[in-house]
């Protein structure tokens, strides 16, 4: 039997350990290099993602200004959210593209690539830099919207009649004349459709709001009902990215409602009051003419002829179906209830409508407007329904009224544009 010398075996073992140690250290260094450089790439990707998302949203929000302007604003937003650093081998490359989907709605695609320097992987010439890319896409959905504007008499004394036209003109210019459909409804002692919902709405609405005459009560429920009908007249195709919106503007409380009375023939009559006083007046539902209050002949004296609603002394409340007397408190409570019911009906449709409320001055019922909008700060907020927003221009009347109302409408416009991103 031949014996293997033990001393020689140990020498060979020591050599193998050194080789294995060198290999292991090399592998460990490679993993360390990979983890550090990949870590920098991960941080860069997160920063790039934030900048790309912001740029995409900015381009989508500004499509109404034209694609060239939208692209420039997207680039500016990207640069603001992705400041270059020593890690970048060169400034990131940004691409902003516009296409259309099957419904003709504009799609915005933003992509960017950043090349960052490596620290350990540069030992391999092929990996002196790493390319990190990210992209975002948004479909600029179709907007279906009705503006509901208060033109009651109090608007002439609180600065609203002066502040409202320029605020509305600026507001509608945030949206797309070709892809969106917008209507305008106004109300005082009566409510009417000033501009029926359609495309190419900017000029008609600008002209209509500048032509408003401010007088009469506050038939808010009528304005809401007409707005719902305008939005409902536009059909949304299955799968279409469309958002239905109502923007409700007022400077006071709703204080007027509408019902049909037998006089003895059926007559549609508006009734309620103004922002001051306690009486209940009756109005022509078509033009808001004040027919006066209660007299010895009956309720209401709806025209100059002796053709009164003799014996009609109560109205049917929508709140509980009971008969109630013609008092200011009864009518105002019903007006609140009917307006809120209409707003809730808007939200439960498919697709549900988003309701935004704007209050001007110090006389508005802020709690009521928050309910109308389903604002998260409302005591009746329902998170399962479309979430709106109530915003207030309280510096009216003052020299700041016009500027503040512009800002309030711009706030609502920004929220709506966010909703249009898919």
Query: How far is 367 from 381, CA to CA, in rounded Å?
Result: 11
Please name which of 352, 347, 146 lies closest in space to residue 230, comparing C-alpha atoms: 146
Query: How far is 15 from 18, CA to CA, in rounded Å?
Result: 5
User: Does residue 373 contact residue 355 with C-beta atoms inside 8 Å?
Assistant: yes
Distance from CA of residue 397 to its chain's centroid? 26
Residue 158: per-residue pLDDT:
95
Helix (H) or strand (E) holding 325: strand 323-325
Output b/e per residue, 369-380; b: 16+ Cβ within 10 A: bbbbbbbeebee
Query: How far is 128 from 8, CA to CA, in rounded Å?
Result: 46
DSSP string, 304-320: SSS---TT--EEE-TTT
- Take residue 391 and report the two structure tokens written for it: 């915003």
Residue 2: per-residue pLDDT:
52
Query: How far is 375 from 390, CA to CA, in rounded Å?
Result: 6
Query: How far is 176 from 64, CA to CA, in rounded Å?
Result: 5
> Whole-model pTM?
0.82
Residue 313: per-residue pLDDT:
81
Query: Which CATH number describes the domain made up of 142-255+299-419?
Result: 3.40.50.410
Kindly report, residue by residue over 141-182, the tens digit of the pLDDT: 899 999 999 999 999 999 999 999 999 999 999 999 988 999
Residue 265: per-residue pLDDT:
79
Given a cut of 50, the residues of the chain with pLDDT beneath it are: 1, 4
For strand 142-150 and strand 242-250, is the pairing parallel, antiparallel, or unpaired? parallel
Residue 14: per-residue pLDDT:
57
- Residue 295 sits at the vertex; the CA angle it makes with 294 and 297, to the nearest 5 degrees, is 120
Query: How far is 74 from 68, CA to CA, in rounded Å?
Result: 10
Residue 279: per-residue pLDDT:
82
Query: How far is 340 from 345, CA to CA, in rounded Å?
Result: 9
Residue 165: per-residue pLDDT:
98
Query: How far is 223 from 186, CA to CA, in rounded Å?
Result: 6
In the chain, which segments carry CATH 3.40.50.410? Answer: 142-255+299-419
Helix (H) or strand (E) holding 56: helix 6-61
Query: How far is 201 from 135, CA to CA, in rounded Å?
Result: 34
Residue 305: per-residue pLDDT:
54
Judged by DSSP in three states, 292 sits in strand
Residue 273: per-residue pLDDT:
83
């Amino acid at each position: 039997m031949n014996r293997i010398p033990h001393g020689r075996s140990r020498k060979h073992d020591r050599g193998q350990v050194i080789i294995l140690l060198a290999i292991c250290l090399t592998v460990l260094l490679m993993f360390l290099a990979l983890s550090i450089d990949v870590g920098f790439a991960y941080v860069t990707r997160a920063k790039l993602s934030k900048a790309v998302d912001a740029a995409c949203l900015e381009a989508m929000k500004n499509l109404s200004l034209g694609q060239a302007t939208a692209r420039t604003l997207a680039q500016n937003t990207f640069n603001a959210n992705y400041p270059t650093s020593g890690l970048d081998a060169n400034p990131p490359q940004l691409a902003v593209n516009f296409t259309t989907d099957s419904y003709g709605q504009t799609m915005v695609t933003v992509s960017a690539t950043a090349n960052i320097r490596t620290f350990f992987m540069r030992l391999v010439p092929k990996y002196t830099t790493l390319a990190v890319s990210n992209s975002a896409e948004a479909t600029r959905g179709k907007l279906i919207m009705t503006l509901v504007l208060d033109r009651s008499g109090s608007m002439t004394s609180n600065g609203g009649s002066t502040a409202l036209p320029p605020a509305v003109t600026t507001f509608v210019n945030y949206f797309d004349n070709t892809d969106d459909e917008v209507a305008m409804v106004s109300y005082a002692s009566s409510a009417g459709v000033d501009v029926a919902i359609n495309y190419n709405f900017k000029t008609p609405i600008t002209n209509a709001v500048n032509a408003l005459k401010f007088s009469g009560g506050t038939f808010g429920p009528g304005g809401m009902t007409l707005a719902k009908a305008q939005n409902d007249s536009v059909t949304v195709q299955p799968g279409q990215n469309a958002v239905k919106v109502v923007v409700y503007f007022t400077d006071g409380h709703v204080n007027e409602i509408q019902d049909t009375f037998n006089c003895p023939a059926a007559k549609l009559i508006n009734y309620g009051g103004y922002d001051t006083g306690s009486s209940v007046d009756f109005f022509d539902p078509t033009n808001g003419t004040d027919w006066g209050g209660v007299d010895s002949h009956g309720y209401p004296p709806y025209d100059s002829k002796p053709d009164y609603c003799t014996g009609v002394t109560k109205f049917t409340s929508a709140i509980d179906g009971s008969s109630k007397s013609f008092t200011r408190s009864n009518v105002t409570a019903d007006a609140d209830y009917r307006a809120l019911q209409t707003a809730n009906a808007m939200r439960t449709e498919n697709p549900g409508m988003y309701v935004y409320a704007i209050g001007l001055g110090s006389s508005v019922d802020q709690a009521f407007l928050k309910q109308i909008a389903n604002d998260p700060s409302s005591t009746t907020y329902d998170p399962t329904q479309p979430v709106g927003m109530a915003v207030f221009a309280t510096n009216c009347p003052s020299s700041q009224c016009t500027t503040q109302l512009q800002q309030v409408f711009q706030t609502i416009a920004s929220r709506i544009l966010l909703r249009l991103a898919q």
